[in-house]
Amino acid sequence: MKLNSEQLLELAARSGAEAAEVYSISEISYTVGFEANRLKQIESSDSEGIALRLWKDQQPGIAVAYGEIEAQTLVDRALALSNLNQAEEIILNPDSIQASDQGQEVEISQLISWGEEVIAEVRAFNSDLLCEGDWECSTESFRLINSLGLDCGYTDIGLSAYLAVEWIRDEDFLQIWAADSQRDRLIPKHLSREILPRLTWAQDLAESPTGKMPILFTAKAAEVLLATIVGAMNAKQIEENASPWSDRLNQVVVDPVITLSQAPNLTPFNLPFDDEGTATKPFNWIDQGVLRGFFSDRRLSQKLNLPLLGNGFRSDLGNQPNPGLFNLVVAPGNLSFEQLLHKMGNGLIVDQILGDGGGLSGDFSFNLELGYLVRDGEIIGRVKDTMVSGNAYQALSQNVCLGAERQWHGSLYTPPLLVLGLDVTS
């Protein structure tokens, strides 16, 4: 039988739980897939999940169900798991939030048309190019209620597109990808505008450089550096005294050109509340280089005396909420891409990488999947078999230049970042 959220709360209370919450999510999506320049398949999916979190004798237990299950069975599972956990303070939000549905559904035929359009635009550059990608429309509905009276939910319709272009010339293999997300309509030129210049830059191969030099991270690659400082602002790392910024609040931690914010109302990833039912609020985590806060869930907000800004998220239904970020926005600079190249002079553009960036230490070393050599402010060709290494904190601490044009990559909205003095090895 389909589970009823109110019924689960009532059964949990009857079974001895002093508090409980129910988080439910359903998703309907359809995806249009292209391969080798042609429509390959149309897929649809329909899923539902529900999570019951309760406390009995202040011991927490979580049980999750996908599909049909008896309500009492789910309650019994959560109670059994609570017996295995230590008691904790019960922290729930009593305040409901009104949220409006977002987005607009589109027809499958429209997704196909958008896909065919962008593939035609890209292949006009060279008919030997092979394109594959997915265009998707997804409708997700969320609801969160708890025993203190909280009841909030909304439906979110999102559109997304991904295109990968392969160019094979003799023994040389090149792949360039681009992605886009929107609320109401996808714009094919958003993808072709990213891919076509990169195909032009990649026509010639350049000799891989070696030594310390300026590096321009495109908006697509900027997360390599930004992920480290995001980790340093996580309240979980502050609680464990693992962050190098634990005692740096209200101090300069990066170059003053950098302002890093969360913007809950900025589309297409606008978010009214987090997975704990806390209203999301705008906030400058780093304001002109000065660290202004650490992002946290409700438990850590209370423990560390941090403001509640809507940063409690579940990695999946079966996990407790933990600190997380959304709609992370880097304030733009005032330099065009061409001006950034001119300022760089001689250096390297990092666009796609193999592997991950650095952890909390800030040290990173990655191989380039896609990068370009710059000489005298001009892109002269693509480089291969090249490694870039350095430290994210040091790279972002001084002489950073930011581009004026920003792009979304995931829920990160950032301009290109030019940093000095990273090591490049062939």
| Residue from 166, 107, 104, 111 nearest 134 by CA | 111
pLDDT of 355: 78
Dihedral of CA 172/163/336/215: which sign?
negative
Amino acid symbol at 140: E
The ranges assigned to domains in the chain are 5-198, 204-426
**Structure-block tokens of residue 173:** 């293999």
Q: Report helix, strand and coil shares of the chain as percent, to nearest 5.
A: 20, 40, 40
161 close to 114: Cβ distance less than 8 angstroms: yes
For tokens 């360039």, what's the residue? 176
Retrieve residue 84's tokens: 């295995």
Q: Identity (one letter) of the amino acid at 419?
A: V
Rounded to whole angstroms, the Cα distance separating 216 from 374 reads 10
Question: Exposed (0-12), middle (13-18) or buried (19+): which is 350, by Cβ within 10 Å?
Answer: buried
The one-letter amino acid at 326 = F
What pLDDT sits at residue 369?
Answer: 95
In tens digits, the chain (426 residues) has pLDDT values of 568 999 999 999 999 999 999 999 999 999 999 999 999 999 999 999 999 999 999 999 999 999 888 999 999 999 999 999 999 999 999 998 889 999 999 999 999 999 999 999 999 999 999 999 999 999 999 999 999 999 999 999 999 999 999 999 988 999 999 999 998 899 999 999 999 999 999 999 999 999 999 999 999 999 999 999 999 999 999 999 999 999 999 999 999 999 999 999 999 999 999 999 999 999 999 999 999 999 999 999 999 999 999 999 999 999 999 999 999 999 999 999 999 999 999 999 999 999 777 789 999 999 999 999 999 999 999 999 999 999 999 999 999 999 999 999 989 999 999 999 899 998
What is the pairing mode between strands 328-330 and 412-414? parallel
The pTM score is 0.94
Architecture of the CATH domain 5-198 = 2-Layer Sandwich (3.30)
pLDDT (0 to 100) of residue 159: 97
- For the chain, give the number of residues: 426
Q: How far apart are CA 46 and CA 66, in angstroms?
A: 11
Residue-level pLDDT at 68: 84
Helix (H, G, I), strand (E, B) or coil at 390: strand
Beta-carbon contacts of 38 under 8 Å, excluding residues fewer than 6 positions away, are: none
Q: Could you give the C-alpha distances from 99 to 48, 202, 277, in angstroms and in order?
A: 21, 46, 11
The reported pLDDT for the residue numbered 359 is 87
pLDDT at 98: 87
Contact of 366 with 340, CB cutoff 8 Å: no
| Whole-number pLDDT of residue 378 | 97
- Residue 216, strand partner residues: 349, 418
